[in-house]
Amino acid sequence: MIELSGVFYSYDDEEVLRDINLTIREGERLVLLGINGSGKTTLLKILNALLFPQKGIYTYFGVRVEKGKLKDREFTKKFRKEVVLLFQNPDVMLFNPTVYDEMAFSLRQLGFGEREIRERVLYWADRFGLLPYLDRTPFRLSGGQKQKLCLACLLVLEPKVLLLDEPTANLDPKTTGWLVDFLYDLKVTTLVSTHNLSLAPELGDRLIVLGEDHTLIYDGRVEEFLKDEDKMLKAGLLHRHRHKHGDKEHSHYHLHDHL
Ligand SMILES: Nc1ncnc2c1ncn2[C@@H]1O[C@H](COP(=O)(O)OP(=O)(O)OP(=O)(O)O)[C@@H](O)[C@H]1O
Ligand SMILES: [Mg+2]
């Protein structure tokens, strides 16, 4: 359904994506791993057509996604409904007076009737535990509740592709567990970025890894990558540290993993 072929992207002179080739089939659950600055957010923004490849091609169900194509209103409406992105900082997504309006916003934009909007909002608010807060201003929610609200705002659209940019970064372990289970049960194509190696196997079964050189250095099963020290070193996810224990110094590999 999604194909990137020879995609490059630079901000000014800084190349942040280099020759990315990627095919995603419907129903796949992908994890995107890479250290800070490797280009994860940029890649997700390209898939969400917020940025466009400067070289290379992005196609969605065989249709080339480029700036000019978004002038085609029929296509844009379909694309915006089907491919959605949860931002790394969800606060930037919230601007409506109430939780209800927030969840109804994009459905209204896309021309849904109030009755269907109400049905969808109530259904997803219930699944996300947001029913008690429908009249509250989104700013008076906790960080985790805001994150859930942002995700609910995307799911009311019943998308085909859900892109999530470090969704667990601000969640406590319990809410992280909830999200992992929730995503597991969701029958939608997902691509979740994280720099947390230990969460990767929980978030998907196919792993793609952006290296420090901004190329895709791995595309395969999560478990295989976790056995490949060379690849992990290349990704900057593993580091050799020296430690002193008493008067003995030794060095060993250390996972760069922060929960
Ligand atoms: N709007 C921008 N203008 C200029 N440079 C940018 C912009 N956005 C990102 N960059 C640079 O591009 C590189 C890749 O950024 P990106 O946000 O895609 O990385 P990331 O893998 O998502 O990092 P993180 O794990 O910190 O979220 C970084 O060096 C960053 O400084
Ligand atoms: Mg990022």
How far is CA 183 from each of CA 73, 140, 145, 152, 162, rounded to the nearest angstrom? 30, 25, 16, 12, 10
d(Cα 159, Cα 156) in Å, to the nearest integer? 8
Neighbours of ion ligand 2 (CB under 5 A): 40-41, 88
Residue 258 is predicted with a pLDDT of 41
Q: Which ligand is nearest to the CA of 209?
A: 1
Q: Could you give the CA distance from residue 23 to residue 228 in angstroms, rounded to a whole number? A: 23
**Cα distance between the two ends of the chain:** 33
In a domain, 223, yes or no: yes
Q: Is residue 93 part of a domain?
A: no
DSSP 8-state symbol, 239: E
Q: Quick check: is 139 in a domain?
A: no
Residue-wise pLDDT for 131-159, tens only, equals 999 999 998 888 888 889 999 999 999 99
Q: Is residue 102 part of a domain?
A: no
CATH of the domain at 17: 3.40.50.300
Mean pLDDT of 17-42: 94
Measured by CA distance, the residue closest to atom 31 of ligand 1 is 37
Q: Check pLDDT > 70 for residue 255.
A: no
Across the beta sheet with 206-210, what order do the strands follow?
Answer: 83-86, 161-165, 189-194, 29-33, 206-210, 216-221
Determine the structural domain holding residue 185 and report its residue range: 2-88+161-255
Mean pLDDT value across residues 55-84: 94
pTM of the model: 0.89
- Backbone φ, ψ for residue 35 (5° rounding): -75, 170
Ligand 1 centroid vs 250 CA: distance in angstroms? 35
Examine residue 107 and state whether it is found in any structural domain, yes or no: no
Nearest CA to ligand 1 atom 29: 37
pLDDT score at 197? 82
Is position 106 within any domain?
A: no
Residue 217 lies in a domain: yes
Rounded Cα distance between 255 and 235, Å, is: 11
From the CA of 133, how far away is ligand 1's center (Å)?
Answer: 34
- Tell me if 111 is assigned to some domain: no
Ligand 1 centroid–CA 37 distance in Å is 5
Token representation of residue 41: 């957010």
Q: What pLDDT, on a 0 to 100 scale, did the predictor assign at position 125?
A: 96
DSSP reduced 3-state for 21: strand
Who lines ligand 1 at CB under 6 A? Answer: 11, 14, 16, 34, 36-42, 88, 195
Q: pLDDT tens digits, residue range 179-218? A: 899 898 888 999 999 888 888 888 998 999 998 899 999 9
Question: What's the total number of domains in the chain?
Answer: 1
